[in-house]
Structures are given as C-alpha cells and as structure tokens.
C-alpha cells in the first residue's frame, strides 16, 4: 500500500535532509535502520519516549554527567566523535567513583551530511558502548539547515551507580596528598591538531580516547582512600589541577620532569608554540591520594593497560591562594595558571 511505502535508507550515497529531523516517517526510518540497529538493547528497542531502567542497588546513589561533543575534524587519528562521545561521558561518571550504567545520545545533524559517514560514526559509538558495557538506551535526532551546524554534534548524558560511603570530589584534596597521572599528557589534543594542520608527524600521534571505568575500578580497589579523580580534558592537566586546588582550597607543587609527555607530542607542541600541560586528554586520569597510599595507587594504575605510563607528579601543599606551582628542571619554580583564552578550539 502506497501509504506505507518508504524507500530504504541509502547508506551508501544518501545524505541527511531536513525530513530526517522532522519526526515523521523518514525520521522513524533513520532511527530504526541506523541508530536503533547499531545501539540495539531492550530499553531502546521498546521505542517509547523514555527508557525504563532498573534502579541501582540498595544504598547506592546516582551520578549523572553530560557533555556536548563538537570536535573538528569528526574523524581523527585514534578515534572519531562517536567513540569520543561515549568515552568522555563514561569518564565523567567514573571519576565520581560510580559504575557507569546507561547513556543517552542526542544528535544535531547538518543537512547534506553523508549518511555513510554518519553510519561510521554511529558504528564507532555503538562499538565503544558495547566494549564499555554501557548501552545507549534513549536518543534524539534533529537536523539543521546547511550552514547552521557542522556535520554532526553529539550530546551524551551518562548515568551511574555510586556505592554507599564513597565520596570523590574536587574538594577533598589535603596538604601532604600525592598527585598522580595515569599516563602521558597531551596526546588527544595534539592528534587533533596534527590532523587539522596536516603536519608531517600526523600519523605518529594518536588520540588517547578511552573509557576509564575499568582502570578506575582497579585503582579504587587497591587504594580506596583516593580523594579526587578527574579527567584532564579541555584546558589540560594545568587547568584540571587549578580546578581541584580552588575547590579544595589548597596549593600544589609539581615536578616538571616527572610529568610524562610523549616525545612526538613534545616536539609537535614545540613546533606550534603550545605547552603540553594545557593540551586536552581523553583517556587519562588525575589522582589525588594520601601519600601513604600513593605507591599502591601507582602500582594499580601501572598494572592496567591504560595506566602503564602512570607517574607521581607532585604533592598538595597548604596555600590559601590555591596556587599551582611547578619545579622546573633548573631548580626554579614557576606558577601554572589556568588556561586563559582559547588555545585549541573544538578539541572535543
């Protein structure tokens, strides 16, 4: 019957058009043949306005986190906006100490964007969600006219369960605590920059985008006294440490030579006049832990594939000004300020 006829979605040569966002027959088809097909899970498959989900266990609290993703380019060495939007939100849930359980995903598509590329993004997203064990249970799709968007924007929201008695927060750092990082700094941001600028070294630097909840679970088991976890994304390590210092009302002293940075990242930063401490990461952790458990925490990080380059990089000190300082290779000390202005637009 004519009324029910719809041409199948042309995932090879088709392009996003306004009808994909109109909420009618063509929208339903896009959800069915692309999104729901790849994200497949019982809550999403029900096809209702919201997903019905089991609540967390007794005594547990919820953790909710959200991020919009507007990275450009959409595909970069080591990842794409699809897996990035899964990893980024899982990480914000996981650094609160919670087990990530569910994701929502809302898409803003630009008219004319190739469906084939959208399909690659959705597949990557579905793979990341599957590997992390955190399904996309509900979604939304809107389309804006050509020139009013930029290909694909994805907002994800994550929901997790926080075990009773666990409190991780940026306000928990105390003088004497050790500061650790789970690996090398600046890989994600420099992978994007290299791709954008078509630099000669572009194939050598790869984004670190990864879901950190497995690493965090291992860390918290070995060192349950951990006080602060945070993922040093936009603004880099420098800004994340300043946030924690402000929230806790403490100072920090870092050892410059202890901070792990890949040689190629260092070289690329040099070339572009950037400081790796301000460059975004998407698969790294900052850990603040009482000094007496620092070595146990470090060992736990290093025992995980995502933490093999973990390092102890400094300590929390008393400082009413909440300054972050760094001891340089030459024995001097300088201030490490927040990122000011805009260094690398649309890095995530």
- Chain residues binding ligand ATP by CB under 6 A are 23, 31, 35-36, 39, 44, 47-49, 67, 88, 92, 105, 107, 138-141, 233-234, 348
Q: Hey, which residues between 287 and 306 contact Mg ion (CB under 5 A)?
A: none
Nearest to 199 by CA among 110, 258, 264, 287: 264
Using CB under 8 A as the binding criterion, the count of chain residues that bind a copy of itself stands at: 97
**Distance of closest approach, residue 104 Cβ to a copy of itself, in angstroms:** 4
Listed in sequence order, the residues at least 6 apart from 342 whose beta carbon sits closer than 8 Å to its beta carbon are: none
Binding of a copy of itself by 231 (CB under 8 A): yes
Among 51, 132, 241, 289, binds a copy of itself (CB under 8 A): 51
What's the full length of the chain, in residues?
348
Given a copy of itself, ligand ATP, Mg ion, none, residue 346, with its beta carbon under 5 to 8 Å by kind, binds a copy of itself
> What DSSP assignment string belongs to 142-211?
EEE-TTSS-SEEEEEEEEEEEPTT----TT---TT-EEEESS-SSHHHHHHHHHHHT-TTTTT-------
> What DSSP assignment string belongs to 237-254?
HHHHHHHHHHHHT-EEEE
| φ/ψ (deg, to 5) at 122 | -65, -40
Binding of Mg ion by 49 (CB under 5 A): yes
Q: Hey, which residues between 83 and 142 contact a copy of itself (CB under 8 A)?
A: 91-93, 95-96, 98, 102, 104-108, 137-142
Question: CB under 8 A: which stretch of 7-15, 67-75, 192-200, 261-269 binds a copy of itself?
Answer: 67-75
∠ CA 164-86-16, nearest 5°, is 145
* Nearer of residues 69 and 262 to ligand ATP, judged by Cβ: 69
Instruction: Indicate the Cα dihedral angle 260, 265, 267, 268, nearest 10°.
Output: -150
Binding of Mg ion by 270 (CB under 5 A): no
**Distance of closest approach, residue 282 Cβ to Mg ion, in angstroms:** 9
Binding of a copy of itself by 281 (CB under 8 A): no
Contact of 225 with 289, CB cutoff 8 Å: yes
Binding of a copy of itself by 197 (CB under 8 A): no
**Distance of closest approach, residue 203 Cβ to a copy of itself, in angstroms:** 27
Binding of a copy of itself by 344 (CB under 8 A): yes
């Amino acid at each position: 019957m004519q009324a029910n006829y719809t041409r199948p979605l042309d995932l090879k040569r088709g392009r996003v058009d306004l009808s994909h966002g109109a909420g009618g027959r063509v929208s339903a088809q896009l959800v069915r043949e692309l999104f729901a097909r790849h994200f497949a899970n019982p809550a999403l498959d029900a096809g209702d306005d919201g997903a019905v989900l089991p609540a967390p266990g007794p005594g547990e609290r919820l953790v909710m986190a959200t991020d919009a993703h507007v990275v450009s380019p959409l595909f970069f060495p080591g990842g794409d906006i699809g897996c990035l939007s899964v990893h980024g939100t899982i990480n914000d849930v996981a650094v609160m100490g919670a087990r990530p359980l569910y994701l929502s995903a809302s898409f803003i598509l630009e008219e004319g964007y190739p469906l084939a590329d959208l399909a690659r993004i959705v597949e990557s997203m579905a793979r990341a969600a599957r590997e992390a064990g955190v399904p996309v249970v509900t979604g939304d799709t809107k389309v804006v006219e050509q020139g009013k968007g930029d290909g694909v924007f994805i907002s994800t929201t994550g929901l997790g369960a926080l075990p009773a008695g666990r409190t991780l927060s940026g306000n928990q750092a105390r003088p004497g605590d050790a500061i650790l990082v789970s690996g090398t700094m600046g890989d994600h941001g420099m992978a994007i920059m290299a791709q954008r600028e078509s630099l000669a070294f572009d194939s050598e630097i790869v984004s670190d985008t990864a879901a950190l909840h497995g690493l965090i679970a291992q860390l918290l088991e070995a060192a349950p006294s951990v006080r602060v976890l945070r993922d040093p994304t936009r603004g880099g390590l420098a800004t994340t440490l300043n946030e924690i210092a402000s929230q806790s009302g403490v100072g920090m002293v870092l050892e410059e030579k202890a901070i792990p940075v890949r040689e190629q990242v260092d070289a690329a930063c040099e070339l572009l006049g950037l400081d790796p401490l301000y460059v975004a990461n998407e698969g790294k952790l900052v850990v603040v832990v009482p000094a007496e458990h620092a070595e146990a925490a470090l060992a736990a990080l290093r025992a995980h594939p995502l933490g093999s380059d973990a390092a102890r990089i400094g300590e929390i000190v008393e400082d009413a000004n909440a300054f972050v300082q760094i001891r340089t290779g030459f024995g001097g000390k300088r201030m490490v300020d927040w990122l000011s202005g805009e260094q690398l637009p649309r890095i995530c």
